[in-house]
A and B are shown apart, each in its own frame.
Chain A
Amino acid sequence: DTEVTQTPKHLVMGMTNKKSLKCEQHMGHRAMYWYKQKAKKPPELMFVYSYEKLSINESVPSRFSPECPNSSLLNLHLHALQPEDSALYLCASSQGMGQPQHFGDGTRLSIL
């Protein structure tokens, strides 16, 4: 069983919809991450939160808006997405610098 829980597992949305992806961990980790993974490609880093503050934004379009309400939760708010944003969105957490990251099973997002 994964220790990082992501919901929903699947999401289909239109380009004008607003939706949110959720991620939760109870390992006491202080760093949390969002990655985007296209089919047959490695994950690409989107955002990093360290101690609930955004520390890295890899030039992600503003239609993706991350939020870290507390040390256990990470959200990704989606608005006006494009078909090319269809992908597997992975959340991860770690104890911090140089430590391994633990991944959830992801949300498979399809944009119609």
Chain B
Amino acid sequence: GDSVTQMEGPVTLSEEAFLTINCTYTATGYPSLFWYVQYPGEGLQLLLKATKADDKGSNKGFEATYRKETTSFHLEKGSVQVSDSAVYFCALTRPHSGGGADGLTFGKGTHLIIQP
């Protein structure tokens, strides 16, 4: 079945450091890929998305590129802030075999801690 693998952390960085969170996936066909962020006590917020190979998703300084040849969707940010501290989930979705809407398959989540 489908699966997503990401580094679990916690990942601790200093403010203004460069961030990379690795994400690789296993899926048949052509999944859509997403990064979600979850702050304490809240639901998940969509951070960025990519729906086909070589698409680059970007939002709030975060970027990720859909690499089909390496089945990867790594999250990057050039300069992190304390407010970026949260849990980040890589996820995929693909058409359900019955043709209807599809659920998300998540990685285990990466806890990111940014120190001032």
Contacts A42-B89, A103-B44; A98 near B94 (Cβ below 8 A): yes
Q: Which of B44-81 contact A (CB under 8 A)?
A: 44-46, 49, 51
Residue interface mask A45-70, B partner, CB < 8 A = 1: 10011100001101000000000000
Given contacts A42-B109, A90-B43, A105-B42, contact A97 B96 (CB under 8 A): yes
Residue from the list A30, A90, A97 in contact with B44, Cβ < 8 A: A90
Q: Which of A30, A41, A94, A103 contacts B43 (CB 8 A)?
A: A103
Give the bracket for the number of chain A residues in contact with chain B: 20 to 34
A48 in contact with B106 given A42-B89, A102-B46, A106-B43 (CB within 8 Å): no
The 5 closest A-B pairs by CB, nearest first: A31-B101, A42-B106, A45-B103, A55-B100, A50-B100
Residue ranges of B at the interface with A (Cβ–Cβ < 8 Å): 32, 34, 36, 42-46, 49, 51, 89, 93-96, 98-104, 106-109
Q: Are A56 and B103 in contact (CB under 8 A)?
A: yes
- A residues 57-112 with Cβ under 8 Å of B? 58, 90, 92, 94, 96-106
Contact A55 B101 (CB under 8 A): yes
On chain B, the residues within 8 Å of A104 by CB distance are: 43
> What separation, in Å, do the CA atoms of A46 and B9 have in the docked complex?
27
B106, chain A: closest CB distance, angstroms: 4
Contact of B108 among A2, A31, A41 (CB under 8 A): A41
Question: B43 and A33: CB pair below 8 A?
Answer: no
Does A43 lie at the interface of the complex (its beta carbon under 8 Å from any beta carbon of B)?
Answer: yes
